[in-house]
Structure 1
């Protein structure tokens, strides 16, 4: 019963969504004559959408009416193109039509968000924070990430590779063995969402070549969604630090992950992190902070 109610609601939403998107596209925008004053329909007619998308007029009418018909990603993409849908709207169309939505893409107008995200991680000081792209490459990191986690320009600049191969990070991480299993399981979840992405395969090949420990954990086939990880670190200046890393996504930038480290109520971690960010502690740091 609940399933039938949900399906009925989705079909009703599909009908209203398609009608509203069709009404906002003018014939001129679609490359058609506007018909002058004789045109009563705002935007495109159903028949025009069908012709431009290369589908039958009856089939498109049934789609817009929310009937139980067979749809394919190729046809939905054609309709999305004609209706000039954004990436978010295209994914919404898939969901309303009962298909798995495509992988999110970054809209052109959102590509300049990095400055705002930089302000975010800088505001997180004195706690470590960094930003990764889809392939775990470090895009930006704040000064605390350099001081506490050892992030630095001379590293590989790939967080996953550094986790397994950077001797500095390994020497500081007291929870490395426990966390390694979770890190690999989360990477499997991320890569499985894009099975044909060559970037993930290249990273996977590199990790197999560089780290037997990674290869052994990968063979166990564990999988987890990204979330929170407890990290215990032995810092050369501050001693034991206990933090919780949280991986967060910004829907407008699905290609980026923000990782924020929050001090836990153990080992006086918050106070130690504040001290490490002070000028006095920075002068004694082993590595320079990020500029």
Structure 2
């Protein structure tokens, strides 16, 4: 499709989007007197949005008409505030205005429901290991299989990358540790670079450098990889070799969280071993108690 046609389509969508967002907000909701007069169209007028956003009436009209005008993140955020856009709508406004959308944020009213839904998700993944981690790789939730196979338990730091390097139980079981260490560090560096001014990442890096010379050496390589899939081989003390494909999946509704699912590969009878470990007999025979 020609560039001019794409721009025209985007500007048309911008106009329709802003008009629809104006229409859903009454003057009373915006803190304006309605004067008791009947309006021809519902919602706010263009000039009212302009006044509330602190921009010129002509400029806002041009924005809504999709004209080729100069915009800034500050002005778009003011318009988004007046129109009460949620995070997804705010990002959509940026894209339609031809600007890079802001970093996704979690909607506060969705956080509790999402966590409950994610708990159901990883519990439904049983008997296979699954866990949820935040942006800093802190483990938020894990299922029983992640406890019995990966060694997740209350007595460790509950940070996936710190425990990868410092937890003796995980290190003793992870046959693929040497092969995966570089990738794990490269993926964490990619997460850090997405928020370069976030002190939370800097604290994790500082703690790991002090605790692990192996991490410090890998960190200085400055390798970068996006999170994806990693093959893992674990030597479980009861059932022996287990082979997984670990997949990291981001959630648009909760960009601060990631789901990590371990899918058994068709090797070493992994699926059957996991089913046995999750059974009453397997739980009784496990060397370590199952946490969760």
Same fold (TM over 0.5): yes
Mean Cα displacement is larger for which, 159-168 or 217-226?
217-226
Deviations 1:105-146 (CA, angstroms, capped at 9, x unpaired): 221221212122111111111100111111111111111101
Q: Distance in 2 between matches of 1:221 and 1:16?
A: 45
Q: Distance in 1 between matches of 2:156 and 2:38?
A: 67
Q: Which runs of 5+ in 2 are unaligned?
A: none
Answer whether contact 1:130 1:139 (CA < 8 A) is retained. Answer: yes
Q: Distance in 1 between matches of 2:186 and 2:99?
A: 26
Answer whether contact 1:141 1:290 (CA < 8 A) is retained. Answer: no
Matches within 5 A, 1:192-231: 192-231=193-232
1:191 aligns to what SS in structure 2? helix
- Quote the RMSD (CA, aligned, Å): 1.4
Q: Distance in 2 between matches of 1:204 and 1:139?
A: 19
The reply to whether residue 20 of structure 1 matches residue 15 of structure 2 is no
Which 4+ runs in 1 deviate beyond 6 A? none
Deviations 1:122-177 (CA, angstroms, capped at 9, x unpaired): 11111001111111111111111011101111011111100111111111111112
Q: Distance in 2 between matches of 1:266 and 1:170?
A: 21
Q: How many residues align?
A: 291
Q: Distance in 1 between matches of 2:41 and 2:170?
A: 64
Q: Distance in 2 between matches of 1:211 and 1:160?
A: 11
Q: Distance in 1 between matches of 2:148 and 2:259?
A: 18
Answer whether contact 1:53 1:82 (CA < 8 A) is retained. Answer: yes
The reply to whether residue 162 of structure 1 matches residue 166 of structure 2 is no
Aligned to 1:42: 42
1:37 aligns to what SS in structure 2? coil
1:262 aligns to what SS in structure 2? strand
Q: Distance in 1 between matches of 2:169 and 2:5?
A: 56
2:102 aligns to what SS in structure 1? coil
Q: CA deviation at 1:38?
A: 4.3
Answer whether contact 1:21 1:83 (CA < 8 A) is retained. Answer: yes
Q: CA deviation at 1:7?
A: 2.4
Aligned to 1:280: 281
Aligned to 2:81: 81
2:37 aligns to what SS in structure 1? helix
Q: Distance in 1 between matches of 2:264 and 2:122?
A: 15
Aligned to 1:180: 181
Aligned to 2:105: 105
Q: CA deviation at 1:282?
A: 1.7
Q: Which runs of 5+ in 1 are unaligned?
A: none
Q: Distance in 1 between matches of 2:10 and 2:220?
A: 40
Aligned to 1:70: 70
Q: Distance in 1 between matches of 2:38 and 2:130?
A: 60
Deviations 1:166-191 (CA, angstroms, capped at 9, x unpaired): 11111111111221111111112212
Q: CA deviation at 1:32?
A: 0.8
Q: Distance in 2 between matches of 1:90 and 1:71?
A: 14
